[in-house]
Amino acid sequence: MRRLARPLLYSGTIAIVVGLGRYHAQFIGHYYFHSAQRLPWNLTYAGLLCLAAYGAGLPDLDRERSPWAAAGGAALSGAVAISIVQLLLGSLFLPRFVVFSSVLLLTPWFAMCVGVADVGRSRDEGRERVVLVAGAEEQLALHSEMSADLERPAVLVGLLSPKLAHSHDPRSKPLIEAVIANRGTVIVLDRLASLDETVVEQAATLHEAGLRVRSLSVFYDEWLGKLPLSDLERMSLMFDVGELHRVRYGRVKRLMDIGIALVGVPILLLALPVVFMGNLVANRGPIFYRQSRIGRGHQTFEILKFRTMRPGSDAPEWTEKDDHRVTPWGRLLRTSHIDELPQVVNILRGDQSVVGPRPEQPQYVQELREKIPFYSLRHLVRPGLTGWAQVKYRYGANELDAMQKLQYDFYYLRHQALVLDIRIIVRTLRAVFGRRGQ
């Protein structure tokens, strides 16, 4: 049902908009609907509504968000967008009846599709039932991680320590008994458990019965999209980095960076006068913000952004999500992500890539390198305007957050490929349109 929700949402949107257009043409306006102007406008409107729904996170909506509010907001956003387009072009080929009636009909339709997706997600979670054999620290960490945004739905149903899972005699099968009792479908073993022959023997029996067995590292990789903290140092040299070890990928990625940056330049030029006027009113001072960051090969470069803080308030301290130094106009720039636009210049110069680890300030890099010996691995590639850690984790405001984001950075380095880069770009656009980006 979860896979059905998205095509149901999009096909229903097109059907409702086109249906309203035909109804208006036949019974209200008395014109030919399939003319060269009417049908394309209806399809354009349907496309904008689908984009608005995708940007709002529909149909796979976070459970803490109201489906009706998200559905109504998406439908209304699409209506406002097409109204602005028609106003700018001086064209009214899409009747107001179609625009506003679609909002009324699509709001419950979108909400219903969210319900379908949620039912499917609940079924998927119930289908993947995880039994974990690990130490107390790993148990606590994974229990917390399972409440986050998973790459594959699952639910944690059983926890055993390696000591409890150990079989003391041939008749004792504690792991098998725990899996049967909890109706487990996936068994996850930490390093200590995987070194216990009796635990591995039980896992092998379960594997022969059709259950899946994963190491803690592989489970984090496949289900959570990150590497576990306990394995970062051990795994730091055990995979190829696409940008470093695959020449063709590096070249194609650079071409993609240049292409996207060139598209961003006109947008930057259009934003410049708007930001300048906003600065005159509510953010007086330099329009640009320049700061040293560490790039590929530990080379220092100067990052370029629209200034969002009060002049002289950029002292070296961790930036928080609701930082008191940010001006009201600057907060608007951050919320809309317009403050990031000048980085297209960094991308064209080769300082940055569109996708990569977040570039940090030199003093933070030095601190983190002293505390985390393998932290330098993230500097084997160009830092990014966006990245896997940015779309997966909340705003980083301290060293603990930096460590958490490093787990996602390692995942990106391990799986670096154009498909993943495009996936991150799409997720970033969705976060921006849904105003959920970091």
Q: What is the mean pLDDT of residues 224-244?
A: 79
Residue 438 has pLDDT above 50, yes or no: no
Q: What is the pLDDT of residues 412-434, one digit of tens each?
A: 999 999 999 999 998 898 878 76
- Read off the pTM: 0.81
Query: Stretch 12-40: mean pLDDT, rounded?
Result: 88
Helices 197-208 and 174-182: angle between axes, nearest 10 degrees: 40
pLDDT of 401 reads 81
Task: Give the residue range(s) of CATH 3.40.50.10700 domains in the chain.
Answer: 128-224
| Residue 332 burial (10 A CB sphere; 0-12, 13-18, 19+) | middle
Ranges 17-26, 52-61, 396-405: which has the least confidence:
396-405
Q: Is 3.20.20.80 the CATH classification of the domain at 128-224?
A: no
From residue 293, alpha-carbon distances to 186, 330, 378 in Å are 42, 21, 13
- CA angle in degrees (0–180, nearest 5) for 256-10-102: 120
Per-residue pLDDT at 393 exceeds 80: yes
Pairwise pLDDT comparison (435 vs 73), residue with the higher score: 73
- For the cut 70, the answer to whether the pLDDT of residue 177 exceeds it is yes
Choose between 349 and 367: higher pLDDT: 349
Query: Distance between CA 118 and CA 121 in Å, rounded?
Result: 5
Question: For the chain, what is the mean pLDDT?
Answer: 89
Q: Position of tokens 């500097």?
A: 379
Token duo for residue 348 = 């064209």
Give CA–CA dist 379/284, Å, rounded.
35
Pair of tokens at residue 273: 């006068």
Residue 79 has pLDDT above 90, yes or no: yes
Please determine, for residue 435, whether its predicted confidence score (pLDDT) is greater than 70: no
Residue 431 has what pLDDT? 79
pLDDT at 293 over 80: yes
